Structures are given as structure tokens and as C-alpha cells.
């Protein structure tokens, strides 16, 4: 068996990203967003399992506030 591949540097990754089309960059960004959301969901599940959950009322109030802020921003 051969040696494991070396991890690319940030500079190498950025060079590759520069070669992508706008559509491909958007796909990469969406994939990164999905990964981030999945990671946050895993962290939330672990937190809830430890009994560190946030009451639903608090979460719903925050979501409502965020939605209203987005609506105000889109209307300005």
C-alpha cells in the first residue's frame, strides 16, 4: 500500500476555487453551508442528550425575531 495523500494547503485550495465557474463556486458554498448545518445539528443533539436544551419558547421567539429582521431588511 502507498502512503496516504497529503492534505492540501489553504493556498492550494484557494487556487482551485479560483478556477471554478460561478455556478461551481455556488455549489461549493452550498455544500459548505449544509456541512455547517449538519455539524450544528449534531452539536444540538449532543447538548439535548446532556440535558442542556433550550426551552421551545425561547427558540421560537428567536426564530420569529430573525424572520422579522430579514423581512424588514428585504423591504428597505
Is the pLDDT reported for residue 17 higher than 70?
yes
Is the pLDDT reported for residue 1 higher than 90?
no
**Average pLDDT in the chain:** 93
Grid coordinates belonging to 46: 449532543
Instruction: Spell out a b/e string for 30-49, using b for 16 or more CB atoms within 10 Å of the CB, else e.
Output: eeeeeeeeeeeeeeeeeeee
In this prediction, residue 65 has a pLDDT band, given cuts at 50, 70 and 90, of very high
Mean pLDDT on 38-63: 93
Amino acid at each position: 500500500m502507498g502512503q496516504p495523500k497529503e492534505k492540501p494547503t489553504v493556498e492550494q485550495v484557494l487556487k482551485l476555487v479560483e478556477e471554478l465557474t460561478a455556478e461551481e463556486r455556488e455549489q461549493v458554498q452550498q455544500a459548505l453551508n449544509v456541512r455547517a448545518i449538519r455539524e450544528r445539528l449534531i452539536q444540538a443533539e449532543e447538548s439535548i442528550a446532556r440535558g442542556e436544551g433550550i426551552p421551545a419558547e425561547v427558540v421560537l421567539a428567536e426564530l420569529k425575531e430573525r424572520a422579522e429582521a430579514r423581512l424588514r431588511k428585504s423591504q428597505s
